[in-house]
Amino acid sequence: MSATATPIAHQERYESMDLLRGVALLGILVMNIQAFAMPMAAYFNPTALGDRGQADFYVWAFSHLFFDQKFMTIFSWLFGAGIVLMTARLRDDAPAGQAAPSVKPAAFHYRRMLALLVFGLIHAYLIWDGDILVLYAICGAIVYPFRKLRPLLLVALGLLSLSIGSSLMIAGGFYIPKGGPEMIQEFQEFWAPTAEQLQRETLAFQGGWLAQMPVRGANALEFHTSDIWLWGLWRAAGNMLIGMALLKWRVVTAELQQNFYRDLTVIGFGFGLPLIAGGVVSMNAHSWETFYSFFISGQFNYWASLLVALGWVGFTISLWHVGFARGLAARLIAVGRTAFSGYILTSLICTFIFYGHGLGLYMRVSRLGQLGVTLGVWIALLILAPLWLERFRFGPLEWLWRTLTYGERQPFRRERHSSRDWPQISTGAS
């Protein structure tokens, strides 16, 4: 009799990966909140909306240094690691004589990515155009054949992919200024929107859901037909390949010595943060000029964010190893186990707060106020995720995704529930 594919059981999970995933989900919101509350130009350019005071700039700089691209990188690493774990669970490399799975790993994986793609398209066009799920579904499909490679080769291919994305960005910095007045104007208006553009977008997002549709749809379509291929794919796929290597090296599973994670923290933050700060200084020295700032100085953060992301991994696991804030860690693990549902819930909460079908606070909340909203959402997720897992095996969207992937209804409710059913962590120290 052949073995059947089944979801990963609780005891087979790596708690450290759930912890990192929970931290990454919360960290990503520090950046995403800016895209919920303001035009995307303000995400990249602190001068896009004019002079909004020193506090506004300092919040942008803090977010840029510690959060921008760092937690998206960690999420991509974990996504790549998850591909290796999932296919290993299906015993793709089962020894001779061991029962073969009834579900072929490739068919299983691509069905999983197709379901994620559908979720992403619904999210992007009906809820929020800053969706990342479509990108992950496409990249997950691309990197799957490389999962069995040796770690060093995976890292080399990942860095090659990142280099292609970086090269395309640099080339854009030289090509677009020579592309004619219309191309130049279009990009300059992306970097620093005109008053008319700001008014049009503000009215749309302060309006009802139907009024938002044309702008949301246009933004999502532009990303899916242009940006995803020129920038997003190379970075996300490259990081997924690196994430596969980090799993095989046992970095993200917290199985290495505590000193390793301490050194990773020091090296990642110690080298990465000064480089990113140098990029900010460089942009300011060039008066935030459109093409230099976005395409050339942007390379500081593009590459150094990898170091800072490693610093965050080292810092998180170091604290976990010594048992610091175990109650908070357990809640973060619960957030990590419900990250898909938490990601969509975050979009629903934030679009309700900032868009016209809810409170309509778009363009009415300062960056400092946005951090307050972010903290509130963090607290909500940290409370709700453990409460949910007391009663249910998976987050609601995790359950639906699993059901679609496995082709049969998955168990949802726990047979019995108590506070002991949600994550009880160990330090994982070796």
The amino acid at 239 = N
Sign of CA dihedral 103, 238, 45, 379: positive
**113 assigned to some structural domain:** yes
**430 assigned to some structural domain:** no
What gap in Å lies between CA 238 and CA 185, rounded to an integer?
Answer: 32
What gap in Å lies between CA 52 and CA 29, rounded to an integer?
Answer: 21
Tens digits of per-residue pLDDT, 315-331?
A: 999 999 999 889 999 99
Structure tokens at 7: 């979801």
The pLDDT assigned to 430 comes to 37
The average pLDDT across 117-134 equals 97
Tens digits of per-residue pLDDT, 168-215?
A: 999 988 888 887 888 888 888 889 999 999 999 999 999 999 999 999
Phi, psi angles (nearest 5°) of residue 101: -70, 145
Tens digits of per-residue pLDDT, 54-111?
A: 999 999 999 999 999 999 999 999 999 999 998 887 764 443 444 444 568 899 999 9
**429 assigned to some structural domain:** no
Phi, psi angles (nearest 5°) of residue 425: -95, 155
**221 assigned to some structural domain:** yes
Tens digits of per-residue pLDDT, 145-166?
A: 999 999 999 999 999 999 999 9
Q: Where are the alpha helices (DSSP H) in 176-295?
A: 181-191, 195-205, 209-222, 233-248, 258-285, 290-291
**236 assigned to some structural domain:** yes
The pLDDT assigned to 428 comes to 47
**427 assigned to some structural domain:** no
The average pLDDT across 115-120 equals 98
**310 assigned to some structural domain:** yes
Give the count of domains, the chain: 1
- Which residue range(s) make up the domain with 336? 10-93+100-421
What is the value of pTM for the model shown? 0.92
Phi, psi angles (nearest 5°) of residue 413: -80, 150
Structure tokens at 21: 């995933």
The pLDDT assigned to 172 comes to 87
What gap in Å lies between CA 247 and CA 151, rounded to an integer?
Answer: 9
pLDDT over 80 at 126, yes or no: yes
Residue 10 DSSP code:
G
The pLDDT assigned to 230 comes to 85
